[in-house]
């Protein structure tokens, strides 16, 4: 029997997953919570076989929390559950050690397949997410500085405002923007912001 810890903020989604797990004789819910901090404490206490971890919470993103899980248990088996699939988020989660990445737009079958794969130490992404991931495979990753600039563009800041906020010159900001445009294949700020949100290259507060 595979013991599953479920950490997901949306009640209806959480209840649906609990029902799906209950209907499968391979899995059982060890605990379920909408609170990521409480979920992490449950992880330390219960040592579940698999963690289904929602990607976004009101004041946090689970990608930032992944290193803490693997610090506690290097063998942790984590399935990330996202509202939708952006290749930037998928790549980061898998790179940090998550074994599977499933969108809430995917089927229950996909979720159960992800849990099964993770329980066996194997990676799993549904076909549509794999396509999103491979669509930009081989592209240069944004540097931390470029990511900060892109986040500022999404927030609607001007070059002058970005330069002030990041304590750099406007010429440096312009250089970062040109590099960002080249890396993500766009030619203007609006397209850059749209691509950033769609692909999960920046964080959007809930």
Q: Which domains does the chain have, with CATH numbers?
A: 2-135 (3.40.50.2300), 144-199 (1.10.10.10)
pTM of the model: 0.74
pLDDT-above-70 percentage for the chain:
92
pLDDT of residue 71: 95
CA distance 182 to 129: 24
C-alpha torsion sign, points 52, 113, 85, 14: negative
Q: What is the mean pLDDT of residues 61-82?
A: 93
The 10s digit of each residue's pLDDT in 34-52 is 999 999 999 999 999 999 9
**HSE-up (13 A, CA, CB side) for residue 17:** 34
Phi, psi of 54 (to 5 degrees): -60, 145
For 94-143, the pLDDT digits (tens) are 889 999 999 888 999 999 999 999 999 999 988 877 776 666 655 678 88
Q: What is the pLDDT of residue 94?
A: 87
> How is the chain split among helix, strand and coil, in percent rounded to 5?
55, 15, 30
Residue 9: what pLDDT?
A: 94
- Is residue 188 over pLDDT 80? yes
Distance CA 194, CA 52 (A): 28
Reading across the β-sheet that carries 100-103, which strands appear in turn?
A: 27-33, 2-7, 50-54, 78-82, 100-103
């Amino acid at each position: 029997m595979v013991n599953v810890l479920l950490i997901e903020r949306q009640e209806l989604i959480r209840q649906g997953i609990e029902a799906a797990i209950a209907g499968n004789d391979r899995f059982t819910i060890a605990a379920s919570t909408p609170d990521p901090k409480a979920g992490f404490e449950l992880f330390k206490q219960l040592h579940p076989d698999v963690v289904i971890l929602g990607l976004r919470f009101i004041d946090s993103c689970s990608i930032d929390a992944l290193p803490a899980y693997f610090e506690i248990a290097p063998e942790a088996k984590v399935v990330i559950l996202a509202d939708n699939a952006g290749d930037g988020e998928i790549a980061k989660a898998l790179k940090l050690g998550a074994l599977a990445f499933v969108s809430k737009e995917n089927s229950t079958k996909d979720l159960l397949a992800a849990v099964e794969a993770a329980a066996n130490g194997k990676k799993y992404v549904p076909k549509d997410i794999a396509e999103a991931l491979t669509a930009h495979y081989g592209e240069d990753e944004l540097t931390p500085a470029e990511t900060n600039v892109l986040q500022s563009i999404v927030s609607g800041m001007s070059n002058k405002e970005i330069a002030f906020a990041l304590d750099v010159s406007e010429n440096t900001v312009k250089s970062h923007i040109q590099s960002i445009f080249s890396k993500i294949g766009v030619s203007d700020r609006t397209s850059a912001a749209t691509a950033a949100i769609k692909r999960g290259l920046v964080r959007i507060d809930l």
